[in-house]
Amino acid sequence: MADIETIASKIKAGQINRVVVLAGAGISTAAGVPDFRTPETGLYAKLAPLCLPYPEAIFHINYFGHTPEPFYALARARNPVNLKPTVSHAFLALLAKKNLLHFLFTQNIDGLELDAGVPGDKMMAVHGNWKSQRCHKCKTPYPDDLMQQAVNSGDVPYCLVAECGGAVKPDVVFFGESVAPRFEEEEPKVREADLMLIMGTSLKVNPCTRLPPQVPDGVPRVLLNMDTVGGIGGRASDVSILGACDDGVRQLADAFGWRDELESLWAGAVAAKPTGAEVDTMALLDESIEKLAKKMEGSRQVPEGHRRMLEAHLGSKSTNMECVVRFRQLRSLSGPNGPITTS
Ligand code: OAD
């Protein structure tokens, strides 16, 4: 495998000019948002008490269409207005400032890359961002101030078009929806890269998962992640910097001779981001999940759409059998819909 020094000497010699970055939730965990798939601390593990049909359902457009309550119960804790950029975000902005950032694909919806100073034309938030919202049915835009009220209260906002009444959804791409066509337009940039950085992603979600294999052979791919993912490390030119990506970018900045510039850019970005009252987003998330779980447990109604999706996913590896048992009990208390079975 190659190493940081090899990359540093190429940077210093001006042999690297087109850096393509693929980022995921791991670059924002230090800002106070859990990632999705880390066992125990990731959002999907934390959601277990909610007995969702399967964890990703909370972000599936079909589930949201009939049961938007869980999404909104957690919205305040995941609302990016309360978040500040991390040093990893600042590193991306520094790459842009040095004219080395060819393109950034981020799967994150928090907009922290823009807050850190990455120019909008140098990046795509592949899963959209949380800066606007509209009715998920008729697509009528919904005002920011009303959305902020809904996020703060945890109440589902509904379309202002009276005859529609669909739930309002932030302009983020849910499972079951397509990413914007711009993705395919920008995708060839990966093949033009002379360095790719892959940061804080499990590489489990399409379409971003297909980007790293397109980097030409011999072009270094540097993984900054807690663990090895997606076969990165399998090529002689790959470099793995395992651990927190904030530590990883500092190692790179030291090797490139950029450390002071990085720290001062980061401090500036943090100071420039106005946030509301300080919120402990991690604690708020745990509280919100507990509150909603109690509410759902106390309810004798299983929403129809929830029941259908749960049944459709029985037998998959994410089936939570405790939840199935609980719904069976509820069914026998309340119901005509027949038993949920695992066969
Ligand atoms: P995941 O949660 O799947 O993966 C995050 C990765 O970052 C894992 O490999 C962690 O080990 C690593 N990680 C966590 N904290 C880190 C840190 N401080 N430093 C370095 N690495 C760290 O998140 P994504 O890959 O971003 O989509 O998930 C992709 C998509 O799945 C998300 O955009 C979201 C989700 O469901 C939708 O909701 C549509």
Going from N- to C-terminal start, the domains of the chain cover: 300-343
- Structure confidence at residue 342 (pLDDT): 38
pLDDT of residue 148 exceeding 70, the answer is yes
C-alpha distance from residue 307 to each of 319, 338, 339 (Å): 13, 11, 11
- Structure confidence at residue 78 (pLDDT): 84
Alpha-carbon torsion 277, 283, 289, 293, what sign? negative
- Structure confidence at residue 336 (pLDDT): 46
Please report, rounded to a whole number, the percentage of residues in the chain having pLDDT higher than 90: 72
* Average pLDDT, integer, range 135-164: 95
88, 108 Cβ separation under 8 angstroms: no
88, 7 Cβ separation under 8 angstroms: no
What proportions of the chain, in percent to the nearest 5, are helix, strand and coil? 45, 15, 40
Instruction: Work out the number of other CB atoms within 10 angstroms of the CB of residue 219.
Output: 19
pLDDT digits (tens, 9 = 90+) for 162-180: 899 999 999 999 999 999 9
Instruction: Work out the number of other CB atoms within 10 angstroms of the CB of residue 179.
Output: 17
Cα of 1 from ligand 1 centre, angstroms = 24
pLDDT digits (tens, 9 = 90+) for 42-99: 999 999 888 888 899 999 999 999 999 999 989 888 888 878 999 999 999 999 999 9
Q: Which residue has the higher pLDDT, 58 or 338?
A: 58
- Structure confidence at residue 124 (pLDDT): 98
Please report, rounded to a whole number, the percentage of residues in the chain having pLDDT higher than 70: 89
| 232 annotated as belonging to a binding site for a ligand | no
- Please tell me which residue in 89, 102, 127, 136 is annotated as part of the active site: 127
Choice from 203, 226, 240, 247 to test ligand 1 binding pocket (greatest atom count within 8 A of CB): 226
Cα of 163 from ligand 1 centre, angstroms = 39
Q: Kind of pairing, strands 128-135 and 168-172?
A: antiparallel
How far is Cα 250 from Cα 283, in angstroms, rounded to an integer? Answer: 28
Lowest mean pLDDT among 33-37, 110-114, 226-230, 322-326: 322-326
Beta strands in 182-242 (DSSP E): 195-199, 221-225, 239-242
